[in-house]
Amino acid sequence: MAINRSSSHKTKKSVQTAQTELLVYLNGEFVPKSEAKVSVFDHGLLYGDGVFEGIRSYNCLVFKLKEHLMRLAESAHTIMLQLPLTGEQLGDAIVETLKRNRLRDAYVRVVVTRGVGDLGLDPASCKAPTVFIITDKIILYPESFYRNGMDIITVPTVRNLPEAINPALKTLNYLNNIMAKIEAKNSNYREALMLNHQGYVAECTGDNIFIVKNGIVQTPPTYLGALRGITRQAIMDLALRNDIPSQERVLTRHDLFNADEAFLTGTAAEVVPVVKIDGRKIGTGKPGKITRKLMSAFQDLTRRDGLRYTL
């Protein structure tokens, strides 16, 4: 079973604590946040050996749950990690975690590690995966960024080569993104643009990037190092439904600097206008018409596309 609803393992103290702090799903049990722990021998911790998904719930609707769980399964399959739960069981566990925490609007982090093993690299020493689900609030960017747009900067760290650690995988090995984020913060920016090893635009540290040029919405193809983002695909679908031309296209920084509009997409970020890149004003320097239209369409989509639950 995916969930032990009795949670009989908890001590009296644990139950009391659970009333005042978030509960975390951990290997079929629900434990207070302060007691949710994994072994120091877990290969997810030792080597970043595992996969994850970030998911959103909006007013008791888990947005694009099917798509997120499919991507989790694909990432796990590629690294030869056998998920211990079916997609349906994971979905049930996600919903139950949201319910137990009385959360209508939340960020959901689903993590599956290789599990506890020895100090060697060989995953065969890990006998059973570790699964945990965290549900909590998240505010990635201030509201002013959505109204007025944000500035981003290109950083020296390049995106991982697809032939090395494929960016299509959402694994626990995120050091590439973290190094780029550090470089952005050192320059007082909240987000960074990452190029691939050929100098083409890939994505940002946690978001996909889009531009609008001559009325056409454009984003880098995934083979250049961009994650196949769930929100990225939702925006491309929404563009099609709203008769806005869209395409995957190889982009350079020159293309970005001379775009009419630019914006970022991501599960946590949603859709964020970009008004300046590397000191160059993008278009009018304000969120563009097409960007605003897609932001509105996306907000509407979050009210109806997903799994509904009740508290």
Q: What's 208's domain CATH number?
A: 3.20.10.10
Domain assignment of residue 3, yes or no: no
Q: Check whether residue 76 and residue 195 sit in a common domain.
A: no
Domain assignment of residue 307, yes or no: no
> How far is residue 162 CA from its own chain's centroid?
18
pLDDT at 2: 58
Domain assignment of residue 123, yes or no: yes
Q: Check whether residue 35 and residue 58 sit in a common domain.
A: yes
Q: What is the 3-state secondary structure (H, E, C) of 293-306?
A: HHHHHHHHHCCCCE
Tokens of 235: 């925006």
The domain boundary, picked from 136, 152, 170, lies at 136
Domain assignment of residue 310, yes or no: no
The CATH number for 127's domain is 3.30.470.10
* Counts for the chain of helices (H) and strands (E), in that order: 9, 16
The domain boundary, picked from 88, 112, 136, lies at 136
Give the helix ranges, DSSP H, for 130-174. 143-148
Q: Check whether residue 125 and residue 148 sit in a common domain.
A: no
Q: Check whether residue 39 and residue 122 sit in a common domain.
A: yes
Domain assignment of residue 100, yes or no: yes
Active site (catalytic) residues:
170
pLDDT at 16: 41
Strand partners, 134: 109
pLDDT at 4: 62
* Cα distance between residue 4 and residue 1, in whole Å: 7
Q: Check whether residue 62 and residue 84 sit in a common domain.
A: yes
Q: Check whether residue 284 and residue 176 sit in a common domain.
A: yes
Q: Which residues constitute the domain of residue 184?
A: 143-301
CA angle 171, 172, 175 (to 5 degrees): 105
Number of domains in the chain: 2
Tell me 21's DSSP state: S
Strand partners, 55: 108
Domain assignment of residue 20, yes or no: yes
Domain assignment of residue 39, yes or no: yes
Model pLDDT for residues 90-145, shown as the tens digit of each residue: 999 999 999 999 999 999 999 999 999 999 999 999 999 999 999 999 888 999 99
Q: Check whether residue 170 and residue 246 sit in a common domain.
A: yes
Domain assignment of residue 185, yes or no: yes
Strands 270-277 and 150-154: parallel
What is the residue whose two structure tokens read 């395409």? 247
CB of 271 within 8 A of CB of 291? Answer: yes
CB of 158 within 8 A of CB of 281? Answer: no
Low-confidence ranges of the chain (pLDDT < 50): 1, 6-18
Instruction: Give just the sign of the alpha carbon dihedral 295, 300, 305, 311.
Output: positive
Give the pTM. Answer: 0.91
The amino acid at 302: T
